[in-house]
Amino acid sequence: MSDFPQSVLFCCDHNAVRSPMAEGLMKQMYGQRAYVQSAGVKNDMEVDGFSVAVCQELGIELSRHRSRSFEEMKDWGDDLSQFDLIIALSPASQRMALELTRFHHLAVEYWPILDPTGLGETREAKLAAYRQARDQIRTRMLDRFGPPTETGETGSVTA
């Protein structure tokens, strides 16, 4: 696929639920084809345990993920203009990503992914909501990037 980006940044509100799932899925499905990171508008939460659980079902390890914000990425020396594509998974992160386009030439896509936090009364109902969000991300990824790379790696998300 000719428009496969070399680097992708997934972003959502807290880098604790949707964007870590997207980062892990992308790494699992497409391996080294692209450099993949994730960030949040804010970093005020650890990675969500339900996100860890539903990704573990697919063999994706999220438990070592450390949440980070756009601001922290800049502070740590990450050049946000290095990303070919920023995929925003929430309205607030889309606004933040579009703000970056004022200073850098960046492609921004908005994938409206369900926010599963606060949904479901029981553990099973909560897991079902998180699976729905995970599966929405996976479907959008397949639609956008095509079938997984044969040599896909483990979807381990670190750093």
Edge-first strand order for the sheet with 85-88 is: 35-40, 7-12, 85-88, 107-110
DSSP 128: H
| Tens of pLDDT, residues 40-80 | 988 777 888 999 999 999 999 998 888 888 888 888 777 77
Domain assignment present for 112:
yes
Contact 157, 64 (CB under 8 A): yes
Whether residue 139 lies inside any domain: the answer is: yes
- Overall average pLDDT of the 9-26 stretch: 93
Q: Is residue 1 a part of any domain in this protein?
A: no
Kindly tell me if the per-residue pLDDT of 2 is higher than 70: no
Question: How far apart are the C-alpha atoms of 97 and 111, rounded to whole Å?
Answer: 13
Does a structural domain hold residue 89? Answer: yes
Judge whether 156 lies within some domain.
no
Residue 2 falls within a domain, yes or no?
no
What residue numbers bound the domain in which 131 lies?
Answer: 7-143
Question: How many domains does the chain contain in total?
Answer: 1
Residue 157 inside a domain? The answer is: no
CATH number at residue 117: 3.40.50.2300
pLDDT in tens, 103-150: 777 889 999 999 999 899 999 999 999 999 999 999 999 999 999 986
Check residues 16 and 137 and name the one with the higher pLDDT: 137
Q: Domain for residue 154, yes or no?
A: no
Q: Which two tokens stand for residue 125?
A: 């109902």
Q: What CA–CA distance (Å, rounded) separates 26 from 38?
A: 11
